[in-house]
Chain A
Amino acid sequence: MVAVVGAGPAGLAAAIELRRRGVAEVLVLEREAEPGGIPRHAQHQGFGLRDLRRAMSGPSYARRLAELARRAGAEIRTETMVTGWSPVGPLELTSPRGRETLSPAAVVLATGCRERPRAARLVPGSRPAGVMTTGMLQQLVYLRRQPVGERALVVGAEHVSFSALLTLAHGGARCVGMTSELERHQSLAAFRLGAAIRFRAPLWTRTAVTAIRGHPRVEEVELTAVGSGRTRTVACDTVVFSADWIPDNELAAMAQLDLDPLTRGPAVDAALRTSRAGVFAAGNVLHGAETADVAALSGRHAAAGVAAFLAAGGAAAAGVAAGDPAAGGPAAAGGPATDRVPIRCEHPLGWIAPNVVAAGAGAPARGHFALRSRELLPRPALEIAQGGRPLWRGRVRRLMPGRSTRVPHEWAAAVDPDAGPVAVRLRG
């Protein structure tokens, strides 16, 4: 039996693919009452392009994936939360059925990510009502039909920030502005244009939110210009903190999987194998958010890795009991754990995924590494090197926070397992 933790796009796609590859028992554990993950409450169009080859709304996409998973023969258990997982123990579950433990032959972690809330961003001021993340905003409007205020400020200018804009409009709130600390938005030009024309929402770039004031609800927000330090206030009753994603990595941390220090998600190789034999991770638990269809393709890719792992005899062939902490991540071909070479990004690069090179991992999902930057960089020259030895040099089209850039993977074959970490850096 294979357990998939999380019934969002990555988890459901993994379950579908596991069944397609003949895994007899696939159990998807979902803590929410409904499967589907974030798309359940993202009403806008454009879901499913890359994985299902059609465009649909978030809720339709969520329903479709769940239906496909059930039809493929996977069992989806909702209201079931994995509350415990030690380096040596089974998965511990809480659900209305009670407490259960589970010791599957393999696990796919697909727990997704969330936006950093205000406190984690250390935005000072009073603590009024009306401050939320996009995730909460979408649920308020689409799932719970609750009021969201009248004048909202959206912090952030990534894809999800524009989704927040649509949600606010649907909920009857006017967006008084969007802010980004960067010099431009990080979404599609069409979204920005749409926001400007349809909602007349100004985008204030190089602008930081430096205080929130009001009681009991938000009354105003202080904005500070990055660089000049000039401040001004904007009256609003709602503040939406969008993007600034962090993987929901609690289970990975509990199980003491190696975490990548930059993504804060489990460190994985190109086959999405974590540091623990038989444990795979897929989708946005690996890093800040990619779109739902990309997460689904990641789940599909992980399923291929799981199938290969099981075909090779699973934990037994790898010479370990599943859950043995001494056992690292051997995996598909049963290679030893010590062969995992970490890939590290250097500033101003943000993260790369996958972030481990291991023998037998094959090509990464969608045939490339995904690279993120902390700064906007047009046509940057990159170098990937191990020690003093360059593995790859080249230019990519553009680096932009909040969006991934493709980096080829063929260089990984030349990594020496004994020569230390691989570095990814800007050249020159």
Chain B
Amino acid sequence: MSHAPLPAGRLDTDVAIIGAGVVGCAIARELSRYELRLTLLEAGPDVGAGTSKANTALLHTGFDAKPGTLEARLVKRGYQLLSEYARRVGIPVEVTGALLVAWDEQQRKRFPSILGQARANGHHGLRELAPDELYRREPQLGAGAVGALEVTEEGIVCPFTTPLAFATEAVLAGCDLRRSAPVRALERLDGGGFALTLPGGRLTAGCVVNAAGLHADEVDRMLGHQGFTVTPRRGELIVFDKLARPLVNQILLAVPTELTKGVLIAPTVFGNVMLGPTAEDVERKDDTSSTAAGFAYLREQGERIVPALLEQEVTAVYVGLRAATEHVDYQVSVHADEGYACVGGIRSTGLSASMAIAEHVREQLGDAGLTLEPRAADLPELRMPNIGEAFPRPYVEPERIARDRDYGRVVCFCERVTRGEIRDAFGSPIPPVDLDGLRRRTRAHMGRCQGFFCGAELAAWLAGRGAGS
């Protein structure tokens, strides 16, 4: 089963992880707890800047996963791990609960099978609500709902802080993070290990973990495997103004069909309300364009679910590509003989399952012979800057402002981001390289004005000419 132990020092790194999305970052963090030399490679400009940044940001319990699948097991386990981790390191998370709303009798007739599926997945807390209770809970719900299933443990989590926290922890433990480092070629070395061709040269590694998301099938093929094909599934999302937040108390899910989980409305950890996603298979893996048809479809769906939402201002539009494959389940395989792990086909549940996927991959790599010796010294406790609405942020913390006045200087008015936080982001272990990166770390430029007030100042910061940078 196990590949031959590799001579120390012969290779540049023990494990090369391809892809710094939420899954790759989680794996890097997991492995960073062991005596290993790690390299985390990201083709894009930043961690969590691909599929991981544009999703519904739900913390799924996995109640509706297909029983018996790896996905069902890992989402359930991942929910527990991420819930605990998020609270520990300061990733914004809120357990809002979800309501799966039936809009006709046919949909309501599916409740028993959904309940059965949930029980098979080990979720026993679901409860059916009659219309009167449903409308008491969600007074702004559109007319015509005939009932709902309540899933109290479903939640929302910050899709930006999560991969960043994982990657930060890994980097602080010594992991070599390389951004804008696409893997152009990947080949096996005689005598074990791999050679990766990167823009800056060659990297040799004992093990390779393929967490390349949309491109996982291409990386897989570089090694001659033909496990699966990724078909990007485009999801467009509309984010409404924070003034809309009182309209929705919980996550409002649709009753899933054979084809799709449907359009949902959910609060975000930033205090907005999100409507989406669409689900459309597209050809190109970089086609994150929004469409007039997508907007029209979402508005039509949203109009029925929470009509008052559509009267609110739109703050932002996000488009993500899910890494769908021809298979129902995640495509996780460890090729023990060669020291290669492929973690593909991680669809929309990847954020929730990320830590469990990482744990699973670590176990599998260990079984395959990777030496996993826990690190001698524990790493210092990580604490991420809070960017969530449910927890105090610097602008409301008098002690913090007293210690450092820059936490009292609000730069981004819409999102109340202070100069101190922007400065901290640039000084962090994984500093932003562009406006999107700054936005994901601080919320600056994420709000309703989209830069009318602070855009120029942020541009100056990024150009290195900001007054304080």
Interface residues of A (CB under 8 A from B): 31-32, 79, 81, 83, 94-99, 114-120, 122, 124-127, 129, 132-133, 135-136, 139-140, 143-146, 210-211, 213, 215, 246, 250, 253
User: A133-B452, A139-B455 in contact; A120/B398 too (CB < 8 A)?
Assistant: no
**Min CB–CB distance A67 → chain B (angstroms):** 23
Say yes or no: B450 contacts A144, CB within 8 Å: no
- Closest residue on chain B to residue A213 by CB atoms: B289
Say yes or no: A99 contacts B401, CB within 8 Å: yes
Do most interface residues of chain A lie in helix, strand or loop, or is the interface mixed? mixed
Do most interface residues of chain B lie in helix, strand or loop, or is the interface mixed? mixed
Q: How far is the CA of A122 from the CA of B459 in the complex (A)?
A: 24
User: A83-B416, A250-B243 in contact; A94/B402 too (CB < 8 A)?
Assistant: no
Say yes or no: B451 contacts A98, CB within 8 Å: no
Find chain A residues with CB under 8 A from B89 CB: none
Find chain B residues with CB under 8 A from A117 CB: 449-452
| A and B contact pairs by CB, cutoff 8 A, 12 listed | A81-B410, A94-B395, A94-B410, A98-B401, A114-B452, A117-B450, A120-B313, A120-B314, A125-B290, A139-B456, A213-B289, A250-B414
Partner of A146, one of B409, B410, B453, B460: B460
**Min CB–CB distance A16 → chain B (angstroms):** 24
Find chain B residues with CB under 8 A from A125 CB: 289-290
**Using a CB-CB cutoff of 8 Å, which residues 396-440 of chain B contact chain A?**
396-398, 401-402, 405-406, 408-410, 413-414, 416, 435
Say yes or no: B288 contacts A97, CB within 8 Å: no
Find chain A residues with CB under 8 A from B455 CB: 132-133, 136, 139-140
User: A81-B413, A125-B289 in contact; A114/B453 too (CB < 8 A)?
Assistant: yes
CB 8 Å contact bits of B446-469 with A (1 = contact, 0 = none): 001111110111011001010000
User: A96-B409, A140-B459 in contact; A120/B451 too (CB < 8 A)?
Assistant: no
User: A83-B410, A117-B450, A117-B451 in contact; A98/B398 too (CB < 8 A)?
Assistant: yes
Find chain B residues with CB under 8 A from A99 CB: 396-398, 401, 408
Find chain B residues with CB under 8 A from A31 CB: 410, 413
Q: How far is the CA of A143 from the CA of B455 in the complex (A)?
A: 11
Binds A, one of B32-40, B91-99, B291-299, B356-364: B291-299
User: A94-B410, A96-B405 in contact; A124/B289 too (CB < 8 A)?
Assistant: yes
Partner of B456, one of A83, A140, A250: A140
Contact-size category for B: 35 or more
**Min CB–CB distance B429 → chain A (angstroms):** 24
Sample of 4 further A-B pairs with CB below 8 A, known A117-B451, A250-B243: A79-B409, A83-B416, A97-B401, A127-B288
Answer whether residue B84 sits at the interface, using C-beta atoms and an 8 A cutoff: no
Say yes or no: A133 contacts B405, CB within 8 Å: no
Answer whether residue B316 sits at the interface, using C-beta atoms and an 8 A cutoff: yes
Interface residues of B (CB under 8 A from A): 238, 243, 286, 288-292, 294-295, 313-317, 319, 395-398, 401-402, 405-406, 408-410, 413-414, 416, 435, 448-453, 455-457, 459-460, 463, 465
Find chain A residues with CB under 8 A from B396 CB: 83, 94, 99
Find chain B residues with CB under 8 A from A129 CB: 435
Q: How far is the CA of A180 from the CA of B289 in the complex (A)?
A: 24
**Min CB–CB distance B260 → chain A (angstroms):** 21
**Min CB–CB distance A152 → chain B (angstroms):** 15
Partner of B294, one of A96, A98, A124, A213: A124
Q: How far is the CA of A119 from the CA of B290 in the complex (A)?
A: 10
Find chain A residues with CB under 8 A from B450 CB: 117-120, 133
Q: How far is the CA of A140 from the CA of B465 in the complex (A)?
A: 12
Find chain A residues with CB under 8 A from B453 CB: 32, 114, 135
Find chain B residues with CB under 8 A from A213 CB: 289
User: A133-B452, A139-B456 in contact; A144/B413 too (CB < 8 A)?
Assistant: no
Say yes or no: A136 contacts B452, CB within 8 Å: yes
Find chain A residues with CB under 8 A from B456 CB: 136, 139-140, 143-144, 146
**Min CB–CB distance B297 → chain A (angstroms):** 12
Find chain B residues with CB under 8 A from A250 CB: 243, 414
Say yes or no: B289 contacts A94, CB within 8 Å: no
Most buried by A among B238, B295, B401, B435: B401
Say yes or no: B315 contacts A119, CB within 8 Å: yes
- Closest residue on chain B to residue A134 by CB atoms: B452
Find chain A residues with CB under 8 A from B315 CB: 119-120
